[in-house]
Structure formats: C-alpha cells, structure tokens
Structure 1
Amino acid sequence: MPASFPVSILDFVAISGTHTPRETIAQTVEVAQLAERLGYKRYWVPEHHNHLGLAFTSTEVMIAHLAAATERIRVGAAGVMLPNHAPLKVAEVFRTLEAIHPGRIDLGLGRAPGTDGLTAYALRRGDEVDNFGQQAGELFAFLYDDFPADHPYRQVVAAPLSEQPPEIFMLGSSEYGPRFAAVNGLSAVFAHHMSPDLAVLALQDYRARFQPSKYLAEPRSIVSALAFASEEPDVVDAAIATWMMFGDRLKRGERGPRASLDEALDFARTDEFNGRRQAQLERVFAGRPDEVAERLRRLVADTEADELVVVCPLGEQGPRLHSFEHLAKQLDLAD
C-alpha cells in the first residue's frame, strides 16, 4: 500500500571528505535517479553562496541538470533566496525550466540570504530583505501575467510563456515563512531540521491563518526532517556525528567539506560524541529503518503536514543510497 503522504528529498549536494565537486554532482544525479525509481515525489536543492563545502551555487543550473537526468520526479529549489535576485529574472528562469520540463518544476522561496553578510551584499548590492513582500508580489505577477493595468511592469513579459507556472512554495524555519504563505495562499514548507521546537506550532498557525488564493484553494504544508536509516549501529552514529561536526564547523566559521565516513566514525567513538548524542537525536532521526520510519510518521502526524521532505545528514554515497532505499520501503512508497 502506498504511503499516506508523499515523501521527497532535499539534497544540499554537500562535498564529503576528499571528493571533488564534479564527483559530488555525479553522485547527486545517481541519488535523484534512484529516488525516482523508488517513488519519491520531489527532489529539491537549496541556494547557498561562499561555501566551499557545497558542489554548486547556481540552483537553477542544478535543477536543469537533475531534471534532464530524470523523467518523472519533480525537481526544484528549496529554495531561491529571493532577496538575492531580481523577480523578473527568477520568473524568466523558472518559466524556461517549466517549458523544458513541463509539470515537473517546483519554485520554493526563501527570505534569508543563504550566506554571510558580506557575500549577501556582493550578490545584491543592498539590503533587500525588508522588501521581500514587494519582491514576492512582483514575482507572482510576472509568473501569472497579472500586473494591474496601471502598473509600470504591465508591459514587461517574463518570457517564455508556458502552459502553467511552476508550483510555488514558501520556505521557513521561523513563524515568518508559514505566516507569509498563509496570507498569500501558498504552500508552506517548514524546516524541522533547523527549528524542531517550532514545527508543530508554526504549521498550526499556518492552517489557522490560510487564505485561499489563485495559487492554492486549501492549505498545504510540508515538513522537512533530517533522516538516516541503517541496520548498522556504527554507521547510524557516523550520520549523527557528521551533522554534529558540520554544525560545529559552521559555528567556527569553517565552510569546507563535510566529514568523511572515516572521520565521522572516529568522532563517534569519542566521549564528546557520547555526551552529546542523545540531544542530537532530537534533531536527527537516525536509527534502524523501522524506528526512523515510525518517528517520521509521528512527525507528520504531530505537524499535520501533507508531505514530508527528508534530508540525509551523511555524505557517503553507499550508506546514503541504502538509507533512501530503507525509508522508501518502510514508508511504503510506490511509483
């Protein structure tokens, strides 16, 4: 029996150990193709800048690459950090992607810069975050060709014209994203892996505030979670250790590759890891396949989400592929 909720993947395309960006991107294509065969609904990639630990910075190029390498799975951005871009350009890019891959493109929007302050300034040459509502309104009008008759952009067309715009989602890890989605009648995606304590209340608030729109008649929410499934306890600990080390390095201002499997296994044997492991399990759903699947089902039930997105904390290709296979089986995904 198919899962009662669709399951998708968010892939940071993070470089692991000594792998090169080219190798990492090739591995990402392999994961996307496997995800399609297993019945995952969407395959999303984010936007980050000034980060040598990631194999790409151009979200739209990665989407095009993954969509061309697959046939049915939806591919998209989670998301485009709109303050970094001109709304017209985003509309043109995603209309082009939709024209090439009709019915398969998702456009997730974020308000954060996806980088440090200096890099954000280099990208946008100003502070546009407080104008997010205006930027989003322009983007929607470009995508749907519905500027008012007296608007100065009424004569500007975001070519190419396509039969339908990409699906639009609003991302968030605080109250802002779900509330913006509710007021504007959009789907809301909440990052449990970033703010686990807020997920339930934020999505409850979204449903209570939702206003139907031309984009969406009823509220639709998606929750994301860090998830790794394996029958090998040491590999489970390596996945937890990888995310722990990633967070520690970010706090130190380090933006290099994630730990290799061997590095993570070594750290998982330390007293420091053992002292922090239990607390980390509040954020990372890691363990035996049946245990992880049960926790994910409970998260979806608690948040009343319509869909689930999983994020794999481990970069090692073999265990990562096996984890997605385990989750697909345990969650009864069907093609």
Structure 2
Amino acid sequence: MFALNILDYSPIDEGAAARDALLQTIELAKLADRLGYRRFWVAEHHKVLSVAGSSPEMLMMQLAASTERIRIGSGGVMLPHYSSYKVAENFRMLEALHPDRIDLGIGRSRSYKDVNQALNESKGIKVSYEQQIQDLQKYFTDDTESTHRFRQLVATPITETAPEIWLLGTGHGSAAIAAKNGLAYAFAHFARPAADGAEAVAAYREKFRPSDLLAEPHVAIAVFAVVADTAEEAEKLAQALDLWLLFVESETPPPYYPSSETAERRGFSRSEREKVEKNRERMIIGDAETVKAEIVRLAEVYGADEVTVIPNVSGAANRMKMLSLLAEAFSLSVE
C-alpha cells in the first residue's frame, strides 16, 4: 500500500488574514501528525494573494517544531530563483534540528514575469536547473573530491543525515532529469492530469540511475481532493475550489479564498463553466470512500509509492475534517 501525504497552500479564507492561514496550517500539520500521514509539505507561491505560503523554509521550521513524527517538506522550493548553496544551508539547518524529518521538494519557477524579475534582478550568469540540482547533491553529500567548480566548499551546519530531495514535475522533461540524477519524483497530477503522465513516471523508473542519496526510484503523485461526509457537501466545497481556480487565473483576483456560500451566490457564466468543467479533471470529489477508491485507482495507474493530497478547500474546519475522514478511510495510524 502507498503512503499518504498532505500538501497545504495555507489558503486565506474569506474574512480571514494571512496570519490566520499560517496558524491554521500549523494546526493542520499537528492533526496530520496525530493521524498518521507520512509527510506534510507546504508550497511556495508568489503574488497569489489568496494564499499565505510564500516562504516554505520559514514555515517548515515552525511546523517541524510543532510536530513530533511526520516528515516536513517543501512542495516546493522554486530552485531557479535561488542559490543552491543557500538552499542547502537552509535545509541543513532544518535537518540538524529535526534529523530524518526534512524533505526538500524542488521545482522550476513559472511565476509571473515581474516576480521572476524581482527575484533575479541582481543575478549575473544564471546556472542551469540541472546544474543547480547537481550542486545540491554535492552539498548534501559533503563531496570535496569531484571536479565541481566549488570543490572545497561544504554547506553548514554539517549533519549526519540529509534531507530527502524530491523533484517536482508535470511530464517527461522533469521525469528524465529526476531519473538521470537519482532523485525521488513527485508528479503533479493536479496540475496536469494528462494521459501521458503514467508514461512519464514509467520512463523515470526505467531510466533511473542510483545516486548517493537514493538507491531506487521512488514516486509520489499529487492530487486535488475535496472530501466531506456526503457527496452533496463535497460538491458545495468543490464549487468554492472551482471559483478560486477561476480567480487565480483572472487579472484581478481577490485576496482571499472564497467560501462555498460566495460561490453558490455568484454562480458561473457559460464561458466560466467550460473552464470549471476542464478544471474538474484535476480534482477528486466525494465522500471519503469515493475519494479513496479514486486515489487507489490513480496510484495503480501511476505505480505510485506515495500519494500527496492537497486539501485546498474553504474553511479551516473543513480542511481538518477532510484529513480525519481520509485517515479513517485509509485506516492510517501512527507507527
């Protein structure tokens, strides 16, 4: 059976503030820890005013200190914006304080143009994404023997253990990089539920080369899920997710995650309904048993070792209830 994880965006509910969202994420992580989920990851979003998760490393420090067992990770750090050396130092600091509990999920940035400019305006020559990945591996293994351009440089603090590195992606390109460099691979089914996703994952497994940090291929898939006591309640929550996705793609999105009541009152135009129907392909909606069955089916399609659920629904109480319902359906327990 595959492991079950959580990826939280820290959504700012309608009528709430960013601080509220971050405090709710802490409570959600505590609950996931108690229920028996394997990992709890947080995202990096810029210029998305309806979510509070802009700096995963900072939030991870609080989450790791607030939990006892669950692995805490980034889903993910957008590596091209940053220095691999500094990322390695940040995550080694986390690892030093919370050994064998830290995950570094990395991805490529697809941010707004001005966000990319603001995060990179002081840079000279940019290092390739794959080189940055190899740099991280060098720093996490204390390699001073290779021909690396910073051969004698080590990332501090020195730790006996290393964070797990996961490459996040949506297709064959990222799968190939993960395989070539011996990284775990997290496929974003929620972003691109394409027919060739399973092919990309299969190619990753076939072409995987062991690294000093990972001996065998390891795959997770990430899904949007909306779970409630009944299918009818789940549908109401899903309408709010429908509206939020439309907001995010609009030119002037509001700085909050809409409630189900707001979504019901507002409704959708004909052109919006076409987008909603398309976005519904990215979600699993229903009561716990219905959602469980679809998660199990997708895990079999992808041959996934783990499934990461994104509980991106309105209302902190609804997110907490969703984690409890899924944990019960999957018979999760703390080892």
TM range, smaller chain = over 0.9
Contact 2:198 2:302 in 1 (8 A): yes
Give yes or no for contact 2:60–2:73 (8 Å, CA) kept in 1. yes
Structure 1, 145-154 or 44-53: larger mean CA deviation: 145-154
Q: Deviations over 1:293-315 (max 9, x none)?
A: 00000000111000000001303
In structure 2, the residue matched to 1:167 is 164
Deviation at 1:144, TM superposition (A): 1.1
Q: Please say if residues 144 and 153 of structure 2, whose CA atoms lie closer than 8 Å, have aligned partners that are also in contact.
A: no
Equivalent in the alignment of 1:331: 330
User: Helix, strand or coil: the match of 1:154?
Assistant: coil
Match of 2:4 among 7, 24, 35: 7
Q: 2:234 aligns with which of 233, 236, 241?
A: 236
Greater CA deviation, 188-197 or 324-333?
324-333
Aligned ranges for residues 9-88 of structure 1 at < 5 Å?
9-88=6-85
In the alignment, the residues of structure 1 paired with residue 187 and residue 120 of structure 2 have an alpha-carbon distance, to the nearest angstrom, of 25
Task: Give the 5 Å matches for 1:246-257.
Answer: 246-255=244-253, 256-257=255-256
- Identity across the alignment (%): 34
Q: For the Cα contact (< 8 Å) 2:299–2:307, is it kept in 1?
A: yes
1:120 corresponds in structure 2 to 116
Comparing 187-196 and 13-22, the one that deviates more:
13-22
Tell me the distance in 2 between the aligned counterparts of 1:250 and 1:52.
9
Which residue in 2 is equivalent to 1:290?
289
1:315 paired residue number: 314
5+ residue gaps, structure 1, are none
Structure 1 contact 289–330 (Cα < 8 Å) conserved? yes
Q: Structure 1's 32 and 305: CA in aligned 2 closer, same or farther, altered over 3 A?
A: same
Q: Note if contact 2:13-2:314 (Cα within 8 Å) is conserved in structure 1.
A: yes
What letter corresponds to residue 112 of structure 2 in structure 1?
A: D
- Kindly indicate whether the alpha-carbon contact (under 8 Å) linking 1:41 and 1:73 is maintained by their aligned counterparts in 2: yes
Q: Distance in 2 between matches of 1:294 and 1:221?
A: 19
Assess, with a 3 A threshold, how the Cα gap between structure 1 residues 207 and 227 changes in structure 2: closer, same or farther. Answer: same
Higher deviation after alignment, 122-131 or 209-218 = 122-131
| TM-score, normalised relative to structure 2 | 0.92
Q: Which consecutive residues of structure 2, in runs of 5 or more, have no partner in the other structure?
A: none
SS of residue paired to 2:165: strand
**Distance of 2:276 and 2:139 partners within structure 1:** 47
Alpha-carbon distance in 1 for matches of 2:302, 2:322: 23
Aligned 1:134-283 pairs, distance under 5 A: 134-197=131-194, 198-255=196-253, 256-267=255-266, 279-283=278-282
Separation of aligned partners in 2, 1:270 and 1:249: 13
For 1:120 and 1:275, the matched residues in 2 are separated by: 30
Residue 252 of structure 1, CA deviation: 1.5
Find the aligned partners of 2:246 and 2:215 in 1 and give their Cα distance: 42
Asked if the contact 1:18–1:260 (Cα under 8 Å) also holds between the matched residues in 2, the reply is no
2-side partners of 1:279 and 1:50: how far apart?
Answer: 24
Deviations 1:178-204 (A, max 9, x none): 111111111000000000114312211
Give the CA RMSD over aligned residues: 2.1
- CA-CA distance at 1:155 after TM superposition: 2.5
SS of 1:7's equivalent in the other structure is strand
User: Secondary structure of 2:46's partner?
Assistant: coil
Number of matched pairs: 331
